[in-house]
Structure 1
Amino acid sequence: MSKTISGRASVRIAFELVSEVTLPPGVAVALEEVDGLITARIGESHMTPELRAEIEELHRTVTQQERWVQTSPESDPHRLERPAEGLGVAHVAWERVAAGVLPRGVLAAPVERDRMLVWLLHEDHASAQLCGEMSEHGRRIAGDGLWEQRWPTA
């Protein structure tokens, strides 16, 4: 099993809104990973600042509770750049939903089960392209075990 980073407050997932010109052409999001951190640089037309703040706070909860932990990228610092291998370890996806699906004033809600985490996002605050790209990154990150879920067994 992979070495995980555990018990460190610095392990987190950060979201930044950036100008599209700083991203590769036609891309909504670019990920950068270092030991203890994944940063998602998102084109500013693909997510609202309100959703960015909410989704970052929700991810902070998941990582602080160590429900999801990063396996060490030290031996392969460019591992996120490769396509998913299809190992199917876990499923993480971003899905756009109508405003009426979420409680009033809520822009994002996690649905988590054993080996699964789906983020429901208010459709007026995230683009379909962003959700598709983040779901593809999820196939690599969670599906191939680069981040592991620590679901309670009892």
Structure 2
Amino acid sequence: MKNAPFLLILFVMALLSSCSGDDIEPTGVNEIIVDQIDYNLIAVNNSGITGKATFTRDSNDNTTILIELVNTNTDEHPAYVNFNSAAEGGPIAITLEPCTCAVSTTVVTQLDDGTPIDFDKLLNLDGHVSIQNSPSNDEIIAVVDIGINAN
């Protein structure tokens, strides 16, 4: 029984660090989604990881990008909106919150260089979303063309 306090602490730590959908919080109070577009992420580099990138505009005119990955683990996956099509590749336009527990939610107001951007400008962006393997491995594991590049 000497290990009981240690096991209790270990159990509590595991419980607190587990992944759940409760971690996703809305961007404001009493929001209603007024515009939404979904883009299906496709697996690349034999990752098997797919998912969805959902762009929304709410009644408070907030623009949010929600990434939901499928066939992944709880590892952290950096996520970005890049310029150009996925086939062309391109520099990072917007650094998104990393996908932790297969989910990322980012409220977007500007490009990384400070240029303002909103929902309508994202729909007309020459860009794509890319998901990387890990913070230490920048191999792309999932992509989708967005904006003017989307089919």
If each structure's strand is expressed as a fraction of its own residues, which one has the higher value? Answer: 2
If each structure's helix is expressed as a fraction of its own residues, which one has the higher value? Answer: 1
Q: Which has the larger radius of gyration?
A: 2
So what's the TM-score if we normalise by structure 1?
Answer: 0.28
So what's the TM-score if we normalise by structure 2?
Answer: 0.28
Structure with more contact order per residue of length (Cα contacts < 8 Å, sep ≥ 6):
1
